[in-house]
Chains A and B, each alone.
Chain A
Amino acid sequence: MIVIDRERCLSCAACASVCPTGALEMLELHLVYDQSSCTNCGICVRKCPVGALEMRD
């Protein structure tokens, strides 16, 4: 699963843009994460410009 560090997140939508399943989505300026549709591919973690996402078991 993905853990979001809200203190670091800049709401830039990089993660939501690359998420293949739409598990990460930007509402107006709020990032929402749906673990049930997350495939743990990790692309969002690599694309985050500020390291606000982390993969955990």
Chain B
Amino acid sequence: MFRDRYDVIVVGAGPAGSMAARTAAEHGLDVLLIEKRQEIGVPVRCAEATGKRGLEELGIKIDRRWIANEIRGWILVSPSGLRVSRVMKDVQGYILERKLFDKYLAIDAARKGAEVFAKTMATGLIVENGFVRGVKLKHMGEKHEVRAEIVIGADGVESRIARWAGLRDVVKKMVNSASNVQFKMVGVRLEAPDIMEFYFGRNVAPGGYLWVFPKGEDFANVGVGIQGSEQRAIYYLRKFIAENRERFRGASIVEINAGLTPVGGPLEKTYGNGFMIVGDAASFIDPLTGGGIYTAMLTGKLAAETAAEAIEAGDTSENFLARYQERWREALGRKIEMQLKVKEALLNLSDEDLDKIAEILQGKDLTSIGKKDVLKLFVEHPKLFKYIKDFLGV
């Protein structure tokens, strides 16, 4: 069973936690990775799309077993139905099979030397002299207290570790979030099996978007994320399916997923004495797209690398662990700031504005747009300048 102490305890075996555990084990640390559910990877709370470059950068070798589909482009559909698309020759990203992907990452962490325990819930932290010193656990009804030099909280949007450790803005970050619901549907007529579809508009997905992400020839994740609406997310999903009867005629719902996507940017502070918070638990999610798989894995890796250095130096104080925050800021800070600005600008655009932008971009080859084309676009359509200005917040 559990040892009395480890170098690092990671709470939560999603992509962030498993990546943290694997990285810590690779650095020669004693690692315990716990997952409260009896099966890693379920339930899925994700639209399962991720970029190819991100996986490559993190050194994840593509394994057909957890790839549902390859993606080569996207299509954006404006409120009045105007379409803007961009399709590349090469594979740009994947729709994952998260149930298998998450298991693969946890198995990989175990093979690299981490101890992994499913059905093991954190019920509290061991805190001494203002330092997190371990985790109180419950496994199959038995209680344990396990000590660690560093605790990494990878416990998702419902994070308890961040709250217990005293990070005050956790709830505020979670409230600034989109509510999502998704049907996994089979028998759907798709635009193309390698193109992700996004739909926008006040009546389609207020404060968010609706997606159709193909997982196969006739199989797709069809979901919606909304924010600040009186109606529930499920209302908009059902409405879309009803209004697109032709595409969904005879289609079946084989799984229903739901969840929350924090879209207000990461926690102000993601560390403290003896702990760090990674992935969804710290709101590491692209505020514009709602994507979080890459940022989860990256922050898990950065936290584990920092943990290895801290343990080596014999200093797990927040002064030392501040390196983790410096590192993720260096890697993600600018991108997140930019995406937040674009999101704010988009939220301020009316359906009519969105249609106008779509009208201008429609039919343009977006893959080969250069500076000259952009300039020409501005000259031909002076109004666009205002939108782009708002867009960039300049």
A residues with a Cβ closer than 8 A to B are: 10-14, 16-20, 22, 25-29, 43, 47-51
Contact A29 B157 (CB under 8 A): no
- A22–B160 Cα distance when bound, in Å, is 9
Question: In the bound complex, what is the Cα–Cα distance between A57 and B290 (angstroms)?
Answer: 35
User: A28: shortest Cβ distance to chain B, in Å?
Assistant: 6
Residues from 173 to 192 in B contacting A, C-beta threshold 8 Å:
174-175, 177, 179-181
> A-B pairs with the 7 shortest C-beta distances?
A12-B258, A49-B233, A14-B260, A49-B181, A13-B158, A17-B157, A49-B179
Interface SS of B by simple majority? mixed
A48 contact from B119, B121, B156, B232, Cβ within 8 A:
B232
Closest Cβ–Cβ distance, residue B183 to chain A (whole Å): 11
Residue of A nearest to B35 (CB): A28
Q: Is the CB of A11 within 8 A of B177?
A: no
Report the minimum CB–CB distance from A25 to chain B (whole Å): 8
Question: B: which residues have CB within 8 A of A?
Answer: 36-38, 43, 45, 119, 121, 156-160, 163, 171, 174-175, 177, 179-181, 232-235, 256-260
Chief secondary structure at chain A's binding surface:
loop
User: Which listed residue, A10, A26, A48, A51, touches B158 by the CB 8 Å rule?
Assistant: A26
Task: Give Cα A31–Cα B172 distance, bound, in whole angstroms.
Answer: 21
Structural contact, B45 and A28, CB atoms closer than 8 A = no
Q: Is the CB of B257 within 8 A of A12?
A: yes
Given A27-B121, A50-B234: A12 in contact with B45 (beta carbons within 8 A): yes
